[in-house]
Amino acid sequence: MKRFVWRLQRVLDIKAKEERAKRAELFQLTEKLAETQGKLLMRQRILQNIISGIAEKKPRKRLSKQEFFLKYSVTSEEEIKKLKSQVSELESQQREKIAELLETRRFKEGLERLRDEAKKRFIEEQEKLDQKELDEGATVSFVRKTRHIVQ
């Protein structure tokens, strides 16, 4: 029996490799997004802790701490805005990567279906050829036996 060879196998291999690469990129992007979100949450918690700490102080001590906090909060707010914009940018990049990955996966799965169908057809054709050889062999054998008996 001949070995099954599919002409588009190289394309399928390339698409599978491309899918693995895109999945790795998506994983790295997701890690970066989680890290940035963690930084953002930490900054926000620090601000909340400082505010609650200042609120608990007595009025005389509170004024100096409030003044310091207000000076600090401007830069802190800028960092928070910067982190929020990074998060939104990373989320949009993540959505794009997911779309690319899904498109590549669909294409690869379509190629796999085509390969499976081609393999089924190949096997059916080989089985027909094998059956035809068996039938011819049986016919030749039958003819020889009947000729031998007649003579």
pLDDT digits (tens, 9 = 90+) for 94-119: 999 999 999 999 999 999 999 999 99
pLDDT tens digits along 57-96:
777 777 777 777 777 778 888 999 999 999 999 999 999 9
Determine, yes or no, domain membership for 143: no
Q: Which helix (H) or strand (E) holds 55?
A: helix 9-56
What is the reported pLDDT for 106? 97
Determine, yes or no, domain membership for 149: no
Length of the chain: 151
Residue 3 main-chain phi, psi, to 5 deg: -85, 140
Determine, yes or no, domain membership for 102: yes
Number of H helices, E strands in the chain: 2, 0
Determine, yes or no, domain membership for 93: yes
C-alpha span between 101 and 19 (Å, rounded): 6
Reply yes or no on whether the pLDDT at 55 is more than 70. Answer: yes
Determine, yes or no, domain membership for 32: yes
Q: Maximum distance among all alpha carbons in the chain?
A: 131
The pLDDT mean for the chain works out to 90
What is the reported pLDDT for 69? 73
Determine, yes or no, domain membership for 68: yes
Structural domain including 94 reads 9-109
What is the reported pLDDT for 129? 92
pTM of the model: 0.72
Determine, yes or no, domain membership for 46: yes
C-alpha span between 22 and 77 (Å, rounded): 35
Determine, yes or no, domain membership for 83: yes
C-alpha span between 32 and 39 (Å, rounded): 11
Reply yes or no on whether the pLDDT at 151 is more than 70. Answer: no
Total domains, the chain: 1
